Chain A
C-alpha cells in the first residue's frame, strides 16, 4: 500500500532536517507543503490538508504531528520516526548552544529581532499556501463554506481548535459523503 512510490528514508531525513532547522515561529507548514506536495509530489494536496486537520486534533506540536503523518504515509513507522528525529535534531543543539551563548555573548536581542523577521517571511509561505489551496476550495460550495466557517470560528471568534473541528468536521464530512446516485468518491 505504501510502496507504490517508495521514497528513501535518507530523502525523508534530509527534507525534515532542513525543515526543522528553519522552523521559526510556528509558521512552517507552508514550507512543509511546498517541499512535500508541490516540489516532490510525495503526497497529494487533499491528503496533505486532511492530515493537517488531523494533526491539529491529536495532541502534540502540530508540525511534529504533521511530520509523523507524512513520514508514516511514505515509509510506515520507520519513516515517521526518521522524520520526527530529523525535525528535532538541529533545534535540539541550537537550543543548548543559544543557552550557553546567552551568558557570554551580548546582542541576543538582535538574534530575536532577526528571528522575528524570519518568522514573518515564513508566514509569507503560509499566505501563498492558503491562496493556492483556498482557490481549490472555492470550486465547491461545501469546501468554501467549511473553509469560511473554520476561519471565522477559530480566527475571529476564538473558539478552541478542538471545539471548532468537532463541530464543523461532521457536517463537512457528511456533505462530502458519497451518495448512491453520484459517482463522486
Chain B
C-alpha cells in the first residue's frame, strides 16, 4: 500500500469513535467491513481470530482495534489505532462534562441530574440482562454473578479482585470437571 498505513488507521478508526453510540460493540460490524473488505488488512478468518483473542483482554471496549493496528503497523500502529478510536469521543465527552459541571449546584442542574439518575440504574439493570445474553451464559454464570453479589453484600470489605479470580477459578474448575 502506497499511502502511509498510520494515516490510514486514523482515517478508518477516528470516524468509528464518534459513531459508537450506545457502546463500542455497535461498531463491530462496520469495523469488520472496513478491515477485511475495504482495506484488505486481513482475511475474515484472521479478523475472527483477533476478535477471539481480544475477548480475553480487559479494557473499556474493544481492544480488538489495538490488535488490528498492531497487525497493520506494529507498536506505532497499535498506539495510533487505539488513540484514533478513543480520543475523538473522549474529547467530545470532556467538552460536554466541562459545560455540565460548570453549572453544578443550580436548581435546574440538580433537576436534570435527579431525572437522569434512575435512568442510569435502569440502564445498568438492562445491561446485566444483555451481558448475560451476549455471553450466552448458562446457570453457571448466573450462579457466579449472584454468588459474588451476595458475598460482597454481606462482606463489604472483601476485595473485588478476590471475587473476580474466584469466578475465573470456578469456571475453569467446571470446565475440567465436565470433560
Determine whether A121 belongs to the interface, using a CB cutoff of 8 Å to chain B.
Answer: yes
Residues of A within 8 A of B149 (CB): 124-125, 127-128, 131
Residues of A within 8 A of B153 (CB): 128, 131
Residue contact B171 to A116, C-beta cutoff 8 Å:
yes
Residue contact A108 to B147, C-beta cutoff 8 Å:
no
Determine whether B73 belongs to the interface, using a CB cutoff of 8 Å to chain A.
Answer: no
CB distance from A87 to the nearest CB of B (A): 6
Given known A22-B161, A162-B21, contact A147–B113 (CB-CB < 8 A): no
- 19 A-B residue pairs with CB within 8 Å: A1-B102, A20-B58, A25-B135, A65-B89, A91-B63, A95-B70, A114-B171, A117-B144, A120-B171, A123-B141, A125-B152, A125-B163, A131-B149, A133-B120, A134-B125, A143-B114, A148-B122, A161-B21, A161-B22
A131 to B94, CA, bound (A): 29
Residues of A within 8 A of B129 (CB): 155-156
Within 8 A of B (CB), among A128-163: 128-131, 133-134, 137, 142-144, 146-151, 153-156, 160-162
Residues of B within 8 A of A134 (CB): 121, 125
Within 8 A of B (CB), among A88-127: 88, 90-92, 94-96, 98-99, 102, 108, 110-127
B interface SS class: helix
Determine whether B33 belongs to the interface, using a CB cutoff of 8 Å to chain A.
Answer: no
Determine whether B23 belongs to the interface, using a CB cutoff of 8 Å to chain A.
Answer: yes
The chain B residue with its CB closest to the CB of A143 is B118
Determine whether B126 belongs to the interface, using a CB cutoff of 8 Å to chain A.
Answer: yes
Measured as residues with beta carbon below 8 angstroms from the partner, the interface class of chain A is 35 or more
Residue contact B144 to A124, C-beta cutoff 8 Å:
yes
Determine whether B130 belongs to the interface, using a CB cutoff of 8 Å to chain A.
Answer: yes
CB < 8 Å A-B pair total: 363
Where the two chains meet, the residues of B that have a C-beta atom closer than 8 Å to any C-beta of A are 17-25, 49-50, 52-63, 66-67, 70-71, 75, 78-79, 82, 86, 88-90, 92-94, 96-98, 100-102, 104, 107-108, 110-132, 135, 137, 140-142, 144-153, 160-161, 163-172, 175
CB distance from A138 to the nearest CB of B (A): 10
CB distance from B179 to the nearest CB of A (A): 12
Determine whether A84 belongs to the interface, using a CB cutoff of 8 Å to chain B.
Answer: yes
Which of A27, A31, A117, A127 is B170 in contact with, Cβ under 8 Å? A117
Where the two chains meet, the residues of A that have a C-beta atom closer than 8 Å to any C-beta of B are 1-2, 20-31, 34, 45-56, 58-65, 67-69, 72-73, 76-77, 80, 84, 87-88, 90-92, 94-96, 98-99, 102, 108, 110-131, 133-134, 137, 142-144, 146-151, 153-156, 160-162, 165, 168-169, 172-178, 185
Residue contact B118 to A155, C-beta cutoff 8 Å:
no
A53 to B55, CA, bound (A): 25
The chain B residue with its CB closest to the CB of A47 is B113
A65 to B89, CA, bound (A): 8
Given known A49-B121, A72-B94, A125-B148, contact A54–B100 (CB-CB < 8 A): yes
CB distance from A13 to the nearest CB of B (A): 15
Shortest Cβ-Cβ A-B pairs, 6 listed = A150-B122, A60-B89, A117-B171, A124-B148, A121-B167, A155-B126
